[in-house]
Amino acid sequence: MTVSYRQPGVVLTDRHFTVPLDHDAPTGETIELYAREVVAGDKAHQDLPWLVYLQGGPGFGANRFVGKGAWLGRALKEYRVLLLDQRGTGHSTPANRQTLPLRGGPAEQADYLTHFRADAIVRDCEAIRREVTGGAPWTVLGQSFGGFCTVNYLSTAPEGLTAAVITGGLPSLDAHADDVYRAAYPRIERKVGAHYARYPQDVERARRIADHLLENDVVLPNGYRLTAEAFQSLGIVLGGSEGSHRLHYLLEDAFVRTPQGPALSDAFQEEVQGLLSYASHPLYALVHEAIYGQDARPTAWSAERVRAEFPQFDAAKTLAGDGPLLFTGETIHPWMFDCDPALRPLRETAELLAARTDWKPLYDSARLAANEVPVAAAVYHEDMYVDTAHSLATARAIRGLRTWVTDEFEHDGVRAGGPRVLDRLLALTRDEA
């Protein structure tokens, strides 16, 4: 059933679609997709072109806007917007610790999850486009991992696109996960250094918390086991526009005095468990490294293996000296499946995914070199999540792609910069800037 309703300045319509789990087996098992159609209230009855939004991740549903927040207001000036909950996320058929056992054991679960990468998401888009637009091509806006999906779109189904806009999401076309993380750890270290330069008082605070965690077994209210390594992974917030400030405020309220001595405060624990839990987005942990799998080489817990090449990230070694504790960033580690109760039942499934050797290429370099779709991409100069050098190499490999390289924004520029970022990129696709 299609249901429409209103929010300030917009009309929303719930859309539901049925697509094959495996698009190479179109008569086989199906899954459900959900998307939210959004149109400006004063244009609700107009025949408008479509823009489909591909969320970052992997593993996150599309933004739940209220009204015309962030970039959406700019898009609604000329488009109907489709906010797609990519397969396995949001209101689409879920994939999590509660539902995956319906598939069978870990082997069956891992096989199922091989269908949740960018190539399947793009084929979903093509399947529903015919129903949404009547077959007309649409514009795609891909944020972060959504940009990875967009490059796959340009590689496999460019006929479905009138234009493509990418924000913080130009992937390397051929890098293995090891290459991605070897580039990432030095970048993360620079982000942490910038945080401590802004908030030098946080050096001692972070060391004190990590030391407490090395000496004490701390279990958060939701059952998450907070180790020193888990605490370090809070550095993932440093890639956002307000992340450094958020981390600072978190650290300053970490301890309270108790009859038993200093302890991590309830408020600190509550916020930390919200930041670290994968309960709302387990696919992020399960298939994150798989988004870099393109050949017979397994990803094999790449972030964990490569981290060993950067001993400055070892908390115990750091605390044995007097240097600053380094936080980590967008990296997935096997210990997360021990610490997080939302991931524990999926540990063996994750191990099987990490060991797979049958990943298919996601990008077609020859087709990208012959691209005819207008494309523009925002590349953030010191993006913590997506390597700038990798992005620029890919930009050069896509015919006609125009880049906007800026240090004005962090990875979430399309949210923080909103209308201005989207306006600039749309203008680039039209040779108006």
* 413 burial type by CB count under 10 A (0-12 exposed, 13-18 middle, 19+ buried): buried
* DSSP three-state, residue 10: strand
Question: CA triplet 26, 30, 32: central angle to 5 degrees?
Answer: 130
Contact 350, 377 (CB under 8 A): no
Q: CA-CA distance, 207 to 161, in Å (whole number)?
A: 50
Q: Which of 92, 144, 155, 233 is catalytic?
A: 144
Give CA separation, 244 vs 196, 228, 321, 358, in Å: 9, 19, 24, 39
Helix (H) or strand (E) holding 167: strand 161-167
Question: CA triplet 366, 168, 195: central angle to 5 degrees?
Answer: 140
411 tagged catalytic: yes
111 tagged catalytic: no
155 tagged catalytic: no
DSSP state of 88: B
Give CA separation, 189 vs 184, 303, 306, in Å: 9, 14, 14
Q: Which of 24, 217, 322, 358 is catalytic?
A: 358
Strand partners, 256: 263
Q: Are strands 161-167 and 375-380 parallel, antiparallel or unpaired?
A: parallel
Catalytic residues: 144, 358, 411
